[in-house]
């Protein structure tokens, strides 16, 4: 016979849909768990410090860091060297897209339209001996004048020479034949023809479509403080905007960057309004730099800090009405 207590127990078990109730499991407090029963991480050197609004401050610091990074790198420019002073190049070039303004202007001159725009450097057009003769000529003539500021020029074709804060005409004072020797004129004409030939070959144009144009001049740059606007040679500019007749520009360097002077590098900009990348040419005695004169080649000359930088600018036009003749023999 079954006892009443056992019958009652069975009825209770069946009353819960036939599933026996299980006794609740009691939890034992654990020092390694937080109030929610999750394990808390132990730190080797104790808990990390915290303070009110910690998350807000952290985000603020990150935002400030990003702003500083963007500001710094948006102002800085990357620089690449097209020609190093320590290297010798038969010919090195960089092609750039011709500006619309340049193409619109030059299309009227048959045989003078470049196959491509760009910049060329060569150390094999002019010899070091020829460069030395032209440098001695520049030094001798400029000894009779020279700017009070940091930039002096001497134009072989007009005789214009910087003199203090103005210009004088050395040909009017002494006569062209007394200023230039026959040998110097011969060397200058030879150098001019070699540069003209190289420009024609480099840009795929006809030699006879090029004409020497004004101004073509010697320059001596120093670190002396400027006295007039003509002394501030380090400003960004575009040759075609400064001299309307220019279509092709060339420079012949007569002494060496780093050896004879500090600074004075020639620097192309990718954009004159918002430059982001510079392309640099380091001057070297006898080195010739040639480039199209349009808006595709904005540039400036780095300010000289020590010594004297000598060069000669030889410019060409496609417009025969803007041509000038070589100095007479």
Q: Domain count for the chain, please give it.
A: 1
pTM of the full predicted structure? 0.76
In a domain, 248, yes or no: yes
In the 8-state DSSP scheme, what is residue 89? -
What CATH number does residue 185 fall under?
2.60.120.620
What pLDDT score does 174 carry? 77
Structural domain boundaries, residue 119? 76-161+181-322
What pLDDT score does 7 carry? 46
Is 309 one of the annotated active-site residues of the chain? yes
In a domain, 3, yes or no: no
In a domain, 197, yes or no: yes
What pLDDT score does 39 carry? 56
Which stretches of the chain drop beneath a pLDDT of 70?
1-58, 60, 65-77, 272, 274-275, 328-329
In a domain, 303, yes or no: yes
Sequence-ordered list of residues with C-beta below 8 angstroms from that of 152, at least 6 positions apart, any chain: 142, 145, 146, 161, 162, 219, 220
What pLDDT score does 38 carry? 53
User: Three-class SS of residue 147?
Assistant: strand
In a domain, 209, yes or no: yes
Alpha-carbon radius of gyration of the chain:
38
In a domain, 53, yes or no: no
Helix axes 182-203, 128-142, angle to 10 degrees: 120
Name the residue among 123, 77, 80 with its Cα closest to residue 281. 80
- In angstroms, the CA 77 to CA 212 distance is 35
In a domain, 276, yes or no: yes
| Marked catalytic residue, from 119, 220, 265, 309 | 309
What pLDDT score does 155 carry? 94
């Amino acid at each position: 016979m079954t006892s009443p207590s056992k019958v009652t127990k069975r009825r209770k078990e069946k009353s819960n849909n036939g599933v026996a109730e299980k006794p609740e499991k009691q939890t034992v407090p654990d020092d390694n768990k937080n109030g929610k029963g999750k394990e808390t991480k132990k730190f080797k050197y104790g808990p990390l410090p915290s303070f009110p609004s910690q998350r807000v401050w952290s985000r603020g610091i990150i935002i400030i860091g990003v702003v500083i990074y963007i500001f710094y790198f948006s102002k800085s420019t990357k620089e690449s060297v097209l020609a190093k002073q320590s290297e010798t190049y038969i010919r090195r070039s960089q092609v750039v897209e011709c500006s619309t303004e340049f193409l619109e202007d030059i299309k009227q001159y048959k045989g003078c339209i470049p196959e491509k725009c760009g910049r060329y450097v060569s150390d094999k057009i002019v010899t070091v001996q020829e460069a030395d003769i032209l440098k001695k000529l520049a030094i001798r003539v400029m000894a009779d004048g020279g700017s009070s500021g940091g930039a002096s020029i001497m134009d072989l074709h007009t005789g214009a020479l910087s003199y203090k804060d103005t210009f004088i005409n050395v040909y009017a004072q002494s006569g062209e034949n007394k200023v230039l020797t026959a040998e110097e004129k011969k060397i200058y004409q030879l150098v001019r023809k070699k540069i003209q030939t190289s420009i024609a070959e480099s840009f795929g144009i006809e030699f006879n479509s090029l004409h020497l144009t004004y101004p073509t001049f010697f320059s001596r740059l120093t670190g002396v403080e400027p006295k007039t606007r003509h002394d501030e040679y380090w400003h960004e500019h575009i040759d075609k905007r400064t001299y309307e007749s220019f279509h092709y520009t060339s420079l012949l360097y007569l002494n060496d960057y780093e050896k004879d002077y500090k600074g004075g590098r020639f620097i192309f900009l990718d954009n004159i309004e918002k430059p982001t990348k510079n392309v640099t040419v380091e001057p070297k005695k006898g080195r010739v730099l040639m480039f199209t004169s349009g808006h595709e080649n904005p540039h400036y000359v780095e300010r000289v800090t020590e010594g004297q930088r000598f060069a000669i600018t030889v410019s060409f036009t496609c417009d025969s009405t803007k041509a000038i003749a070589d100095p007479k023999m």
